[in-house]
């Protein structure tokens, strides 16, 4: 039997002993005696009587163990032309001090703190400072607009918001403070304070009494110690797009999260203390939470925080420069980044300028890795390219090649095999499990392993209703796919209304809500269509109210702008078409699945209940036009 099979079967057959053993890699104030609490099945809890602190495990214990002078974090920012390096001791000092700032502002265990920051070290400091106090952080991606930020503030009800004066994109500086002010104006919940880190590029206007200057507060703050927490206490809330118009707050606990991420660093990513790990993502996404911040630091490794793009900062050799400059062993990013590099430098000529001998692995996730990008990256870099599949909800990979345990031959198009702890099954639409080769809904048998979501913030039934009620005993992933005869999993895409744009997860429902609110729109649909660079991009289709006489182009432009202003530029909605009617069944259900398949050039059966088949044909003409 392969090592992998053996380990996986142990993790599924006896999760208590498997994860009990893994938990020894974490320092506990009180060791857990209950590894898996099954008393509230189907909601399971890990290490329920254990006490620990995630920040202690990420920083203090390394300093105590003699790793204080090792590099914890490297900041590289081509957009602001700055670089910085923090040892574990320096990072601990900043984090303890900022925890002191938050404590002085009244933040205590269980309070929420919203962090709206660009890719600067202060974002990591703020996250770890919350973890230190047991406050629950909720990081909001800087590419979201004020309205999205307001929705999250209203839901999380933070005591404090932490921000910076600006974010920097390739072609522009984005002032954050006006966005924060607008979000706080819109939100019914008003945090008592807003801490602002002033970057040299922009000086943010401050509201007296409410707004606190980061640098000034840090000068006078006393460092705060770690607060012992129950393993099941929440570490963070991360909002993600679901099938409805409202983002869901995925809650992650402390103990299970630390155990799972620590295990993954050695066994999946094969990266340990003293080695350099670079997740080229953003702290606003789950990849950033897990693999820019927590996992590398839990392992005592060096994490790279890169404020730039794969292309344009300044060229398609940017990733190679960073790898060479810092001796990166493991790079983790989204396939889109590599498609962008390939588009600008198809022969990989810029690679010749750099020494990439430190690089051992390229891990890709966030969207389906198309075989062409896989082959291009593999032959260019000459290192294993590992497709792995995961979700905000799981927080770490569900399927991967375990490079530190038992590397397996890759199959292009497959994220390899289920990760230890994940019992992945495929079901058809009637609820029957299917054999290898047959396509279906991907489910995970419960209990999910440690590190996965524990609840949806503010809605105690939602976790069950949205994920666990579909098939009793199983977690619904929302993705479709199949196993092959060798047990390799193939993930083919979402079966719901979630789309992935440049590795960013978005809900078509949320975009539809904005289009539908336009006074001239009677009804609308948004679908994800294939895009060579971004994997998918949204396309809007609207039916106008009777009697509207304004030019279609003018209305389309307004709609595109509304989505950009309310959701954010990152949505990348470039096109909204005005059509005569939406294709529907006789009972009025919009045939989104058929619309999606037309857009992707795939033929699927048209339901016999269709109301007017001609509409689908009209739509084909619209969707096939560029």
174 binds ligand COA (CB under 6 A): yes
Sign of dihedral through CA atoms 514, 518, 524, 527? negative
310 binds ligand COA (CB under 6 A): yes
Q: What's the CA gap between 559 and 553, in Å, rounded?
A: 10
**How near is the Cβ of 56 to ligand AMP at its closest, in Å?**
27
142 binds ligand COA (CB under 6 A): yes
Sign of dihedral through CA atoms 144, 150, 152, 153? positive
**How near is the Cβ of 388 to ligand COA at its closest, in Å?**
12
Structure tokens at 170: 């390739």
∠ CA 156-158-163, rounded to 5°: 110
503 binds ligand COA (CB under 6 A): yes
C-beta closer to ligand COA: residue 285 or 427:
285
**How near is the Cβ of 125 to ligand AMP at its closest, in Å?**
24
C-beta closer to ligand AMP: residue 245 or 480:
480
191-199, 481-489, 535-543, 566-574 -> range binding ligand COA (CB under 6 A): 566-574
Q: What's the CA gap between 102 and 94, in Å, rounded?
A: 12
C-beta closer to ligand COA: residue 50 or 143:
143
Q: What's the CA gap between 358 and 325, in Å, rounded?
A: 10
572 binds ligand COA (CB under 6 A): yes
C-beta closer to ligand AMP: residue 20 or 284:
284
309 binds ligand COA (CB under 6 A): yes
**How near is the Cβ of 499 to ligand AMP at its closest, in Å?**
9
Q: What's the CA gap between 180 and 349, in Å, rounded?
A: 42
Other Cβ atoms within 10 Å of 357 Cβ, number:
9
C-beta closer to ligand COA: residue 263 or 278:
278
264 binds ligand COA (CB under 6 A): no
**Sheet of 474-483: strands edge to edge?**
423-427, 440-445, 474-483, 489-494
Give which of 476, 570, 572 is closest to 285, Cα–Cα.
570
**How near is the Cβ of 121 to ligand COA at its closest, in Å?**
16
Structure tokens at 52: 């620990």
285 binds ligand COA (CB under 6 A): yes
C-beta closer to ligand COA: residue 96 or 119:
119
**How near is the Cβ of 493 to ligand AMP at its closest, in Å?**
6
- Residue 234 touches which member of ligand AMP, ligand COA, none, C-beta under 5-8 Å by kind: none
Q: Which of 80, 336, 391, 416 binds ligand COA (CB under 6 A)?
A: 336
Q: What is the CA radius of gyration of the chain?
A: 24
C-beta closer to ligand AMP: residue 271 or 290:
290
213 binds ligand COA (CB under 6 A): no
C-beta closer to ligand AMP: residue 71 or 536:
536
C-beta closer to ligand COA: residue 367 or 423:
367
- Judged by DSSP in three states, 576 sits in strand
Query: Is residue 236 a contact partner of residue 138, using CB atoms and an 8 Å limit?
Result: yes
334 binds ligand COA (CB under 6 A): yes
Sign of dihedral through CA atoms 264, 267, 273, 275? negative
C-beta closer to ligand AMP: residue 317 or 395:
395
C-beta closer to ligand COA: residue 279 or 441:
279
Give which of 148, 219, 134, 207 is closest to 179, Cα–Cα.
148
Query: Is residue 584 a contact partner of residue 607, using CB atoms and an 8 Å limit?
Result: no
Strand pairing report for 160-164 and 112-116: parallel
Residues 430-469 close enough to bind ligand COA by CB under 6 A = none
Query: Is residue 552 a contact partner of residue 353, using CB atoms and an 8 Å limit?
Result: no
316 binds ligand COA (CB under 6 A): no
> How long is the chain?
626
Q: Which of 227, 322, 448, 570 binds ligand COA (CB under 6 A)?
A: 570
Q: What's the CA gap between 444 and 418, in Å, rounded?
A: 10
User: Please, what is the angle between helix 335-344 and helix 371-381, to 10°?
Assistant: 70
Query: Is residue 323 a contact partner of residue 356, using CB atoms and an 8 Å limit?
Result: yes
Give which of 107, 218, 114 is closest to 176, Cα–Cα.
114
Query: Is residue 526 a contact partner of residue 511, using CB atoms and an 8 Å limit?
Result: yes
Place of tokens 């666990």: 468
**How near is the Cβ of 248 to ligand COA at its closest, in Å?**
18
Q: Which of 163, 240, 281, 392 binds ligand COA (CB under 6 A)?
A: 281
Structure tokens at 133: 């106090």
Question: Which phi and psi (to 5°) does residue 311 adopt?
Answer: -130, 150
For ligand COA (CB under 6 A), the number of binding residues is: 26
**How near is the Cβ of 63 to ligand COA at its closest, in Å?**
30
Give which of 98, 179, 175, 185 is closest to 140, Cα–Cα.
179
Ramachandran bin of 144, using left for φ above 0, alpha for ψ from -120 to 50, beta for the remaining angles: beta
397 binds ligand COA (CB under 6 A): no
C-beta closer to ligand AMP: residue 337 or 415:
415
**How near is the Cβ of 300 to ligand AMP at its closest, in Å?**
26
Other Cβ atoms within 10 Å of 340 Cβ, number:
20
Distances (CA, A) of 78 to 117, 322, 551: 17, 10, 43
- Residue 447 touches which member of ligand AMP, ligand COA, none, C-beta under 5-8 Å by kind: none
- Residue 340 touches which member of ligand COA, ligand AMP, none, C-beta under 5-8 Å by kind: ligand COA
Q: Which of 15, 158, 337, 449 binds ligand COA (CB under 6 A)?
A: 337
- Residue 391 touches which member of ligand COA, ligand AMP, none, C-beta under 5-8 Å by kind: ligand AMP
Give which of 415, 532, 407 is closest to 477, Cα–Cα.
415
287 binds ligand COA (CB under 6 A): yes
C-beta closer to ligand AMP: residue 368 or 539:
368
Binding site for ligand AMP (CB under 6 A): 240, 286, 365-369, 387-392, 415, 478-479, 491, 494, 500, 505
126-134, 244-252, 497-505, 586-594 -> range binding ligand COA (CB under 6 A): 497-505
Name the residues that contact ligand COA, by CB under 6 A.
142-143, 167, 169, 174, 280-282, 285, 287, 309-311, 333-334, 336-337, 340, 366, 502-504, 533, 569-570, 572
């Amino acid at each position: 039997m392969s090592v992998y099979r053996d380990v996986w079967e142990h993790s599924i057959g006896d999760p208590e002993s498997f994860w009990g053993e893994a938990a020894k890699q974490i320092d506990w104030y009180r060791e857990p005696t209950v590894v898996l609490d099954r008393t509230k099945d189907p909601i399971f809890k890990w290490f329920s009587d254990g006490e620990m602190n995630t920040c202690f495990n990420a920083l203090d214990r390394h300093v105590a163990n003699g790793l204080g002078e090792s590099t914890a974090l490297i900041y590289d920012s081509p957009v602001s032309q700055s670089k910085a390096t923090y040892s574990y001791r320096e990072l601990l000092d900043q984090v303890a001090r900022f925890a002191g700032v938050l404590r002085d502002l009244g933040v205590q265990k269980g309070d929420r703190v919203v962090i709206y920051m660009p890719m600067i070290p202060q974002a990591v400091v703020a996250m770890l400072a919350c973890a230190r106090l047991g406050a629950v952080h909720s990081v909001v991606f800087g590419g979201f607009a004020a309205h999205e930020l307001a929705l999250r503030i209203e839901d999380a009800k933070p005591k404090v918001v932490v921000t910076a004066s600006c974010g920097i994109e390739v072609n522009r500086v984005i002032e954050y403070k006006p966005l924060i002010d607008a979000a706080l104006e819109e939100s019914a919940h008003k945090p008592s304070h807003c801490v602002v880190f002033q970057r040299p590029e922009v000086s943010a206007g401050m509201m007296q009494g409410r707004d606190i200057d980061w640098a000034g507060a840090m000068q006078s703050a006393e460092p705060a110690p770690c607060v012992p927490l129950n393993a099941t206490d929440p570490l963070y809330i991360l909002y993600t797009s679901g099938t409805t118009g409202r983002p869901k707050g995925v809650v992650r606990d402390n103990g299970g999260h630390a155990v799972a991420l620590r295990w993954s660093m050695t066994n999946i990513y094969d990266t340990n203390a003293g080695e350099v790990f670079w997740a080229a993502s953003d702290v606003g996404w789950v990849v950033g939470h897990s693999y820019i911040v927590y996992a590398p630091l839990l392992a005592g490794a060096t994490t790279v925080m890169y404020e730039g793009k794969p292309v344009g900062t300044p060229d398609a050799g940017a990733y190679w420069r960073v790898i060479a400059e810092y001796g990166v062993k493991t790079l983790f990013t989204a396939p889109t980044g590599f498609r962008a590099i390939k588009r600008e430098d198809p022969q990989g000529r810029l690679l010749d300028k750099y020494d990439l001998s430190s690089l051992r692995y390229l891990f890709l996730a966030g969207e389906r890795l198309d075989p062409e990008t896989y082959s291009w990256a593999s032959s260019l870099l000459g290192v294993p390219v590992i497709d792995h599949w995961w979700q905000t909800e799981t927080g770490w990979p569900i399927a991967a090649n375990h490079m530190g345990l038992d590397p397996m031959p890759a199959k292009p198009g497959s994220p390899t095999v289920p990760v230890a702890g994940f019992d992945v099954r495929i079901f058809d639409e009637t609820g029957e499990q299917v054999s290898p080769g047959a396509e279906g809904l991907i489910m995970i048998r419960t209990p999910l392993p440690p590190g996965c979501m524990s609840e949806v913030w503010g809605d105690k039934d939602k976790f069950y209703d949205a994920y666990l009620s579909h098939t009793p005993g199983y977690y619904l992933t929302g993705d479709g796919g199949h196993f092959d005869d060798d047990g390799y999993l193939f993930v083919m895409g979402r079966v719901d209304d979630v789309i992935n744009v440049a590795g960013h997860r978005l809900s078509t429902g949320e975009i539809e809500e904005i289009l539908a609110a336009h006074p001239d729109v009677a009804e609308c649909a948004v679908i994800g269509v294939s895009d060579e660079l971004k994997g998918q991009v949204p396309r809007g289709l609207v039916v106008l109210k009777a009697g509207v006489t304004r030019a279609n182009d003018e209305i389309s432009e307004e709609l595109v702008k509304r989505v950009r202003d309310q959701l954010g530029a990152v949505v990348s909605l470039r096109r909204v078409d005005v059509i005569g009617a939406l294709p529907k069944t006789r009972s009025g259900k919009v045939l989104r699945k058929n619309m999606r398949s037309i857009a992707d050039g795939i033929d699927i059966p048209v339901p016999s209940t269709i109301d007017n088949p001609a509409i689908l044909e009209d739509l084909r003409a619209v969707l096939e036009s560029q």
